[in-house]
């Protein structure tokens, strides 16, 4: 009899241990999980409809996350962050994903692929164009209370515009009804802007003769006082990554500035001269791609930013003024020749350019999904299907009332 009582006691202890081992749901009651699949009565992950079958979780339990992105396809309730997932077989598609324009996929699960092109439209200010259907762009909406605009960067519901007087920040959380600009004057002529930051958000402004201006925009409604780092040329474009600002510095080529502490940028900049004039710059894969005006595209190894390599060139007839690199191709805004596409899968040996002419004078380029969006000066916005980079399509245009200089495309 004592032996039976001992066995019963041991069994009771084991049952209690099993029920407590998976944790409770915070209400003080033990999680009862008989099949050890982490679902059960009072368990954090929810009840189990078949607590005798550990393999039944994927068909009947409270939640299912088939693609491992922490967004659940099947759930009784959602916390606003983790569901519902509209495609539980693709981890890049969920309610928290960024919308990729022009690829025909609804990444953020809002039921539509809404995309906008933000165009720096010279004296007409900022033009916002619905490009959800790239082959049929919408009528521009303008925020015209600006001076001459040259470049634009969009993030977090705000457009940061390089305006002749400095930096203009515009609330574009409702693209159809942009807010009034908030200004931060700079001492030069703002030509380009890049916005990024880990500990705080900063706008890096290519400020013409004043070099690089760095502005704290952690509060976009109250930007901070600019901090400057002068350059020997005239700053036209900027790209920031890995704690360094890469500046297209006109006759000085490429200037590299340590901005690991944005409030105290390094001095002096490191330079790599190019044979042309640096107008635009894009950084990826340890290389700087410089739109080098009359000398086409200059590719510079910047894997060691303090010791940049010798430029490799790909000549492009005309004047290279903007560049965007993605998928192993460099897309160059060629002022007199439209779009030039160059295979840069081997950056040390760039391929022969493929051209698609435009009606205007291409100043800037942004590639999203299967389309290249060109700031095409007097022709406004030119949109080119580059699904096959070796055979770009005939441009589709949306005229603007100003002269398009820069463009940024983002999903909503």
Write the pLDDT tens digit of every residue in 206-226. 999 999 999 999 999 999 999
Does one domain contain both 267 and 128?
Answer: yes
Does one domain contain both 38 and 141?
Answer: no
φ, ψ of residue 2 in degrees (nearest 5): -65, -35
Does some domain include residue 69?
no
Does some domain include residue 21?
yes
Q: Domain end: 16, 42, 60, which one?
A: 60
Write the pLDDT tens digit of every residue in 27-84. 567 888 887 877 777 787 766 666 776 655 444 445 667 677 777 666 655 554 566 7
Does some domain include residue 390?
yes
Q: Domain end: 60, 87, 103, which one?
A: 60
Candidate from 13-17, 41-45, 62-66, 188-192 with smallest mean pLDDT? 13-17
Alpha helices in 228-374, H assignment, sequence order: none
User: Higher confidence at residue 332 or residue 84?
Assistant: 332
Question: Does residue 146 carry a pLDDT above 60?
Answer: yes
pTM of this prediction? 0.81
* List of residues 6+ apart from 403 with CB closer than 8 A: 121, 122, 123, 377, 378
CA distance 88 to 73: 6
| Structural domain containing residue 34 | 2-60
Q: Domain end: 40, 60, 80, which one?
A: 60
CA distance 159 to 165: 16
Does some domain include residue 112?
no
What's the pLDDT score for residue 17?
42
What's the pLDDT score for residue 32?
85
Does one domain contain both 239 and 156?
Answer: yes
Count of residues making up the chain: 412
Does one domain contain both 253 and 348?
Answer: yes
Ramachandran bin of 128, using left for φ above 0, alpha for ψ from -120 to 50, beta for the remaining angles = beta
Q: What's the CATH code of the domain at 161?
A: 2.130.10.10
Does one domain contain both 27 and 122?
Answer: no
User: Higher confidence at residue 108 or residue 370?
Assistant: 370
Question: Does residue 105 carry a pLDDT above 90?
Answer: no
Output the average pLDDT for the chain. Answer: 87
Q: Provide the domain count of the chain.
A: 2
Q: Between the CA of residue 326 and those of 92, 145, 329, what are the distances in Å?
A: 18, 34, 6
Does one domain contain both 248 and 394?
Answer: yes
Q: Within 10 A of 209 (CB to CB), how many other CB atoms are there? A: 13
Residue 108, Cα to own-chain centre: how many angstroms? 15
Residue 178, Cα to own-chain centre: how many angstroms? 20
Does one domain contain both 124 and 53?
Answer: no
- Give the pLDDT band of residue 18 (cuts 50, 70, 90): very low
Does some domain include residue 66?
no
Does one domain contain both 51 and 150?
Answer: no
φ, ψ of residue 89 in degrees (nearest 5): -110, 0
Does some domain include residue 156?
yes
What's the pLDDT score for residue 411?
83
Does some domain include residue 182?
yes
Q: Within 10 A of 286 (CB to CB), how many other CB atoms are there? A: 14
Does one domain contain both 52 and 128?
Answer: no
Does some domain include residue 44?
yes
Does one domain contain both 38 and 171?
Answer: no
Does one domain contain both 400 and 327?
Answer: yes
- Average pLDDT for 247-258: 98
Dig out the tokens for 318 from the structure. 């005309």
């Amino acid at each position: 009899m004592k032996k039976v009582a001992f066995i019963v006691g041991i069994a009771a202890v084991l049952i209690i241990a099993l029920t407590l081992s998976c944790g409770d749901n915070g209400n003080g009651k033990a999680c009862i999980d008989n099949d050890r699949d982490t679902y059960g009565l009072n368990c954090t992950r929810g009840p189990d409809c078949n607590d005798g079958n550990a393999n039944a979780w994927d068909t009947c339990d409270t939640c299912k996350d088939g693609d491992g992105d922490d967004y659940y396809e099947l759930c009784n309730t959602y916390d606003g962050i983790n569901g519902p997932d509209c495609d539980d077989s693709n981890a890049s598609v969920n309610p928290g994903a960024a919308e990729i324009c022009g690829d025909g996929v609804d990444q953020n699960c809002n039921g539509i692929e809404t995309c906008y092109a933000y165009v720096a439209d010279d004296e007409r200010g900022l033009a916002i164009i619905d490009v959800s259907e790239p082959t049929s762009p919408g009528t521009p909406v303008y925020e015209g209370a600006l001076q001459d605009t040259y470049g634009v960067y969009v993030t977090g519901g705000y457009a940061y515009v390089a305006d002749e007087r400095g930096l203009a920040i515009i609330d574009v959380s409702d693209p159809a009804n942009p807010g009034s600009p908030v200004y931060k004057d700079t001492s030069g002529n703002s030509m380009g802007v890049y916005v990024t930051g880990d500990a705080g958000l900063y706008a890096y402004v290519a400020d013409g003769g004043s070099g690089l201006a760095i502005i704290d925009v952690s509060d976009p409604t109250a930007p901070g006082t600019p901090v400057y780092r002068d350059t020997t040329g005239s700053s036209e474009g900027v790209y920031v990554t890995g704690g360094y600002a890469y500046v297209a510095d006109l006759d000085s080529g490429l200037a590299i500035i340590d901005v690991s502490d944005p409030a105290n940028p390094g001095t002096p900049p490191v330079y790599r001269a190019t044979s042309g004039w640096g107008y635009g710059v894009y950084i990826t894969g340890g290389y700087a791609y410089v739109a080098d005006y009359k000398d086409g595209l200059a590719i510079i190894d910047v894997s060691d930013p303090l010791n940049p390599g010798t430029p490799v060139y790909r000549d492009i007839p005309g004047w290279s003024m903007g560049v965007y690199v993605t998928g192993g191709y460099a897309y160059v805004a060629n002022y007199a020749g439209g779009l030039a596409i160059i295979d840069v899968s081997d950056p040390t040996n760039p391929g022969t350019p493929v051209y698609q002419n435009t009606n205007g004078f291409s100043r800037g380029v942004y590639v999203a999904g299967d389309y290249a969006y060109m700031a095409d000066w007097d022709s406004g916005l030119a949109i080119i299907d580059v699904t096959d980079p070796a055979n770009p399509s005939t441009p589709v245009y949306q005229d603007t009332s100003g002269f398009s200089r820069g463009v940024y495309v983002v999903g909503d």
